[in-house]
Amino acid sequence: MMSLMQPFAAQLQFQNGLIEPYGEKTVRRLSDMRGMYLDIAVTEELLKQGDPLLYEVYEVDVPHEQGQLIYCTSIIYPGKVGDEYYMTKGHFHNKESTAEMYLGLQGRGYLLLQTHEGQVSAMEMVPGTVAYIPPFWAHRTINIGGEPFIFFGVYPGDAGHNYGTIEEEGFAKLVVEKNGKPVLIDNPRYR
């Protein structure tokens, strides 16, 4: 029989996204996303200059099992690789019939979504935006502002992460800066 888990609390700081106590901290630098940004020459140049920090995820320690809810805060730093804004790797869930929910806390971002069949969706997130990622949609977040883009996320304990499909195929759309504004363009390297 499943043993009984005890209730517990963590404390979230809305201003900076820090949540304590957290279990796992994920740090992604540009070297972790080699090949995911369109401009390879700029990527290599930035890596030579010092491998910038793109984003961090703080996840609270909850069992990854069906019926549980995993929650975390993500902090995407402001910046660009060429014209392309700093972004997360993006992923499908391993169990694709599971949803995810994001709550914007600070800064401005885009949530970019797509299906295996090539449907694409994008929405802007600001503080208070509750974005719903339905089952079967891959999702990536992008900082389109000048300060950290911070959001709180919740997903089912049995969702799991499939990064491989996006690493191989990319997203159909890229979010780039044109005349100081974010614009979606087709990704010439998609699939």
Is residue 97 near a second copy by the rule CB under 8 A?
A: yes
Task: Using the rule CB under 8 A, give the single segment among 34-42, 67-75, 171-179, 180-188 that binds a second copy.
Answer: 67-75
Size of the site for a second copy (CB under 8 A): 50
Q: What is the DSSP pairing of strand 161-162 with strand 92-93?
A: antiparallel
Site for a second copy in 116-145 (CB under 8 A): 119, 121, 123, 125, 127-137
Q: What is the CA radius of gyration of the chain?
A: 17
Query: What is residue 108's DSSP assignment?
Result: -
Three-class SS state of 128: coil
Nearer to a second copy, 13 or 31 (CB): 13
Is residue 1 near a second copy by the rule CB under 8 A?
A: no
Cα 166 from Cα 147, distance rounded (Å): 26
When binding is defined by CB under 8 A, the residue of 37, 149, 155, 171 that contacts a second copy is 155
Phi, psi of 44 (to 5 degrees): -65, -35
Alpha-carbon torsion angle 190, 141, 98, 130, nearest 10: -140
Interface with a second copy by CB under 8 A: which residues?
2, 4-14, 19, 60, 62, 66-69, 71, 95, 97-101, 103, 111, 113, 115, 119, 121, 123, 125, 127-137, 152, 154-157
